[in-house]
A and B are shown apart, each in its own frame.
Chain A
Amino acid sequence: MESLRYLLSRFLQSLFALLCIITITFFLARLAPGGPFLDEKAVPEHLIEQMKRNYGFDKPLPVQYGLYLGRLVQGDLGPSLGNKGFTVNEVIAEGFPVSLMLGVSGLVIALFIGIPVGVVAAAKRNTAVDYFLMAFTMLGICLPTFVIAPLLGEIFALKLGWFDVAMWENSSAWFLGAATLGLYYSAYIARLTRGSMLDVLSQDFIRTARAKGVAPATVLFKHAFRGGITPVVAYLGPALAGLLGGSFVVETVFGLPGLGQHFIKAATNRDYWLINGTVTVFAVLILVMNFLVDVLQGWLDPRTRGHK
């Protein structure tokens, strides 16, 4: 009952956060200077007026906001001003799976590399292994994605020919993209894991377990791991948000047809509905992730349940 009420309140908070995000982006995009109908050629004033009327931009902004929310509730994200003849729903349905795929596989790669590296570094702390691993992760943090991405492309795709360089369909280029993203975040996760594992390993119950003669591997994985992993779980939400943003860079480098290109174009051309639609979809994803993370955290560490 208690936990049910907690989940419900977290859910309502997420909804409220979503509303805030939608509102912020709506007004942020609309109040930006310039407009969607500017062209290099001079467009006659009356045509612009007519287009504005067509899209309902002539009404006061709060009214437009209300109308937008109304359509949003029905799942209609509106027409795309930059991609003539397409609705925002169609544009997102096309690009979002690519970005999501990149982000999620990047996250999986990051977890599969980062957590073991962090655990090993913590178990062997202050040894050559530890120093080597930590220096290596530092390298991963400092070399930006957009340096790693072309390098990986050059080595594995052009020189070795293991992967295709670009294109999405029936192609392996996405793997290099996901690896680029994953390597960067695995460095963060490794450092996070190492730090929290060290915290846990210095606690009394670990000393007790060791004193009782529990095998070191058992102490590490059965006693310490569950506590040591909690900060990593908490980091999953921000990580996914970062991965989705980072996928914009990777998409640019490898020429993948994700939402990144559409979104950058939408922002520079003031494609209002596409901007809002993309932010809404990303925000929903991040909030769902944060919600799951909270639930998972409560399961991992019962002490966090009561606080909220």
Chain B
Amino acid sequence: MSPQPPTTPQPDSGQDLLTGVTTATAEKGSSLGRDAWYRLRKNHLAMASLWFFIAVVLLCFFLPLVPAVPDPNVTHPDLQSLPAFSTATSMEGVEVYYLLGSDHLGRDIFSRMLYGGRVSLAVGFLATIVSLTIGVVYGAVSGFTGGRTDAVMMRVVDILYALPFMIIVIILTTYFGNKLWLLFVCIGAVEWLTMSRIVRGQVRSLKRQEFIDAARSLGLSNWHIILRHLIPNTVGPVIIYTTLTVPAVMRLEAILSFLGLGVQPPDASWGSLIKEGADRMASDPGLLVYPALIFGMTLFSLNFLGDGLRDALDPKSSKD
């Protein structure tokens, strides 16, 4: 992004904890990781996104452990729709401080956003891990085997692509009314299609290279070659696409919650909070604005991070 002239790496400037760890692991293997990390650090937008995302994750998962954060589901019927930064005393004589105000039931919006973020992020990670596993293995096997097997496997992917995906997910919601995490395992199980195509393409071009011939002449089994030699070499595109899958899944969860099929009240996710906010937009805009903002910015940061990683890991495809 920023047009900086390429300079020599300055390892001692701005070497923080994370860099130290990355460099240490990179030294053992190839230098690809270190190069990529170096290029990524040059990309201020991507780095800002990375730190922002880490901050959001830490906040959502650890801040609710602090006792001062109120219970997201405690209602105060007499303290409705208070503005941000307000302190109020409820009927029971409890003094409540609302960092971002309260909703129509007197619940703390900030706390609901934190807890909602847990659900949204957990869903994003869970579904992505499932889709990653299926997609990478499927794509690698298909690309490595080639021939008729490959043709059949890719035709299956084509057919699944034609599924009206949203509809299938809506049908699936009827299976997992209360066990939401199962639904998102299923979403992951449907989201792997693009990943498998990417990995297949990579593997097809990799498997003609000499190091695979070498591995084969050493008598390694096909599975060993796929798992230990082919898949590790597809890591670049896979990381990039993973970064883009997380926001896609989070969007899907939000849409489902918006349609009333995802998280059920009183529990919240960012999607269901946005839905509540959209219903009361005219009377209390904060209800829509805060969750929409944090949700939008999280997706924003993940997308920018994905773009930055693409430039960092695959310099050929970069803009310059």
Q: Residues on A close to B: CB < 8 A?
A: 13, 16-17, 20-21, 24-25, 28-29, 32-34, 125-126, 131, 138-139, 141-147, 149-150, 154, 158, 198, 237-238, 241-242, 244-246, 248-249, 252-253, 263-264, 267-268, 270, 275, 278-279, 282-283, 286-287, 290
Contacts and interface: CB of A to CB of B under 8 A. Distances in A.
Given A146-B278, A241-B165, A248-B259, A138 B303 contact: yes
Nearest to B167: A279
Contact of B175 (A32, A242, A275, A286): A32
Given A150-B281, A238-B161, A143 B167 contact: no
A249 B163 contact: no
A144 B274 contact: yes
26 contacts: A16-B159, A20-B159, A21-B159, A25-B167, A32-B171, A33-B175, A126-B320, A138-B303, A142-B296, A143-B292, A144-B251, A144-B296, A146-B254, A146-B275, A146-B278, A149-B278, A154-B281, A245-B164, A245-B166, A249-B258, A252-B258, A264-B170, A264-B259, A267-B171, A270-B174, A278-B167
Interface string B162-206: 111111101111110000000000000000000000000000000
A264 B161 contact: no
A276 B234 CA distance: 39
B282 interface: yes
A138 B255 contact: no
A33 B170 CA distance: 14
Nearest to A25: B171
Nearest to B161: A238
A279 to B, nearest CB: 5
Residue of B155, B271, B292 with most chain A CB atoms under a 10 A cut-off: B292
Contacts, number: 129
A147 B288 contact: yes
Q: In terms of DSSP, what is the predominant structure of the interface of chain A?
A: helix
Given A147-B296, A241-B165, A278-B167, A249 B259 contact: yes
A75 B309 CA distance: 50
Given A267-B173, A268-B261, 16 more contacts: A17-B158, A24-B163, A24-B168, A29-B171, A125-B319, A126-B320, A131-B1, A142-B300, A144-B258, A241-B163, A244-B166, A245-B166, A249-B258, A249-B259, A270-B174, A278-B167
B144 interface: no
B317 to A, nearest CB: 8
Nearest to A20: B159
Contact of B165 (A20, A144, A245, A252): A245
B36 interface: no
Nearest to B173: A267
Contacts of B155: 13
B101 interface: no
B85 to A, nearest CB: 24
B185 to A, nearest CB: 16
B278 A147 contact: yes
B299 A142 contact: yes
B171 A21 contact: no
B6 interface: no
A259 to B, nearest CB: 10
Contacts of A139: 296, 300
A189 B260 CA distance: 29
Contact of B167 (A198, A245, A249): A245
B304 interface: yes
Given A17-B158, A278-B167, A283-B164, A252 B259 contact: yes
A277 to B, nearest CB: 11
A226 B295 CA distance: 37
A144 B319 CA distance: 27
Interface string B136-176: 00000000000000000001001101111111101111110
A249 B3 CA distance: 41
Contacts of B274: 144, 146-147
Contacts of B254: 144, 146
B159 A126 contact: no
Nearest to A145: B255
